[in-house]
Amino acid sequence: MGTKNLDRVKILSIFLTLLSVNLYCQNSEKSKPTSLTIAYTALSSGIVEIYQGSTEGRPIIKSTNENGGYVAWSPNGKRIAFYAKYDKKKTWSIHTMNSDGTNRKRLTHVKNKWDNAPDWSPDGTKIVFAREYKGSKGIWQYEIWIMNSDGSEQTQIKSLKGSNPFFTPDGRIVFSQEFEDKSSAISIADVDGENIIRLTNNKGAKEWHPDVSPDGKQIAFMSDRDGNFEIYVMDIDGSNQKRLTYNDFRDSMPSWSPDGSQLIFHTRMGENRDVHMMNTDGSSVKKIISNGGQAAWLKIANGHLTK
């Protein structure tokens, strides 16, 4: 065999070796289980807890020792926003704390108002939240407010009448828009309340708790448009609406995984209230947390807490 042929064989051998190593690494990476870091409310105690682990194997659950609900992660995973109740549950207030439960701060203090469903802006400097209360005529009022993450400069976004506000990656707000007939729809608007666009339109339906995928392309939400609360997904412009769950019990409060491939959601069947996980096409549903709810998936890289 000539020298040139030997060189070709060597080059081909090296190429095949590198190709096999690359494919092995890719397959190994694909085979790694999805990591989970989830903050949720333990329903038996009302304490915010952190669930860490993977889709396979035993999870680690640690308590923050703080009562609260509607938890939301800061973008870097270091802090959590949530609401807690006062005055025999007549007053709900927004708080923040470190992910280990330390450095708790109460941010809102308005009596006889229900401040809830906080969410952080993409840069972590703002928190948007819902405020609900009965007006002077006994009619429920639904407002959306925004403030700095330290609680300063609290301002109502007056054109937005609704609940469950959630920031998109580009800084807009998706929310559940409330109407006088007690129905609701998922809508999107600029952070100043301008350019409101209604994304769902199902007469008489209640549609709540929108959560935007990490890439900003889709919205998961809950709706009773078919007679029972189920989980749905749609594109960010309202197109391609698809029902994901088909149960006789209530499915609610979806939250996306960091890579956008899975959703967690809260189920309520009689006295059983648990957190389930599924793929974003509705397949592979399984329970991951018993007696828990209002869960939010940490969306930073790999789903791990930042130290």
The pLDDT tens digits of the residues spanning 22-40 come to 433 444 344 345 578 999 9
pLDDT for 23 equals 39
Strands (E) in 26-125, as ranges, are 35-42, 47-54, 60-67, 69-73, 79-86, 91-98, 105-106, 114-120
Give dist(CA 228, CA 223) in Å, integer.
Answer: 7
| 43, pLDDT greater than 60 | yes
pLDDT tens for 250-291 read 999 999 999 999 999 999 987 788 999 999 999 999 999 999
- Between 9 and 79, the higher pLDDT residue: 79
pLDDT for 266 equals 95
At 101 the three-state DSSP class reads coil
Class of domain 39-303: mainly beta
pLDDT for 212 equals 98
Question: How far, in Å, are 45, 158, 186, 217 from residue 197 at the CA level?
Answer: 39, 16, 9, 16
| 5, pLDDT greater than 60 | no
At 239 the three-state DSSP class reads coil
Give dist(CA 34, CA 194) in Å, integer.
Answer: 38
Instruction: Using the structure block, give the residue that is written with the tokens 């609940």.
Output: 163
Q: Which amino acid is at 259?
A: D
pLDDT for 18 equals 43
The answer to whether 208 and 252 have CB atoms below 8 angstroms apart is: yes
pLDDT for 301 equals 59
pLDDT tens for 217-260 read 999 999 999 999 999 999 999 999 999 999 888 999 999 999 99
**Other CB atoms closer than 10 Å to residue 255's CB: what's the count?**
26
pLDDT for 51 equals 93
Overall pTM surpassing 0.95 (yes/no): no
Phi, psi of 107 (to 5 degrees): -100, -30
Give dist(CA 229, CA 205) in Å, integer.
Answer: 10
Phi, psi of 4 (to 5 degrees): -65, -40
| 21, pLDDT greater than 50 | no
Q: Residue 179 carries which DSSP code?
A: -
Average pLDDT across the chain, whole number: 88
Instruction: Using the structure block, give the residue that is written with the tokens 């329970």.
Output: 287
Half-sphere exposure of 106 (CA within 13 A, CB side): 13
Number of helical H runs and strand E runs in the chain: 1, 24
pLDDT for 36 equals 87
Q: What percent of the chain has pLDDT over 70?
A: 85
pLDDT tens for 48-89 read 999 987 766 678 899 999 999 999 999 999 999 999 999 999
pLDDT for 302 equals 54
| 197, pLDDT greater than 90 | yes
Residue 300: band (very low, low, confident or very high) from pLDDT cuts 50, 70, 90: confident
Residue 16: band (very low, low, confident or very high) from pLDDT cuts 50, 70, 90: very low
Half-sphere exposure of 247 (CA within 13 A, CB side): 21
pLDDT tens for 80-120 read 999 999 999 999 999 999 999 999 999 999 999 999 999 99
